[in-house]
Homo-oligomer: A and B are copies of this chain.
Amino acid sequence: MRIRTAKDLGLLAREQRKRRGWGQAELAERVGVSRQWVVAFEGGKPGVELGLVLRTLHELGLELEIGGGEQSGGAPALESAVDLDALLERARRTDP
């Protein structure tokens, strides 16, 4: 899932937490933050600290991936081949 805002991320984290059957208090304990912090993060608070966010995502089994990175001045070099195996492998990991 593409993330652009803190709200996007918070929503995703909440969904994943529920999928795991955890309450906010349980997640907070696992991560080592206060429950209030979890509430704020899930609510999309932009001021939350990056390190805690990363730890929380890890605890939720969510993986952060950065893509993009085109040169500012023009089109990126074209890949000459499409690696279907790699695509499938990634899809398997992302949308099991």
> Is A61's beta carbon under 8 Å from chain B?
yes
Query: Judging by beta carbons under 8 Å apart, are B19 and A69 in contact?
Result: yes
> Is A38's beta carbon under 8 Å from chain B?
no
Q: Report the copy number of this chain in the oligomer.
A: 2
Query: Judging by beta carbons under 8 Å apart, are B82 and A91 in contact?
Result: yes
Query: Judging by beta carbons under 8 Å apart, are A1 and B65 in contact?
Result: yes
Query: Judging by beta carbons under 8 Å apart, are A95 and B79 in contact?
Result: yes
Beyond A47-B50, A68-B96, A69-B94, 4 additional pairs, beta carbon < 8 A = A46-B50, A65-B65, A65-B66, A79-B96
Q: List 6 A-B contacts (CB under 8 A).
A: A4-B54, A6-B54, A49-B50, A68-B94, A69-B94, A87-B88
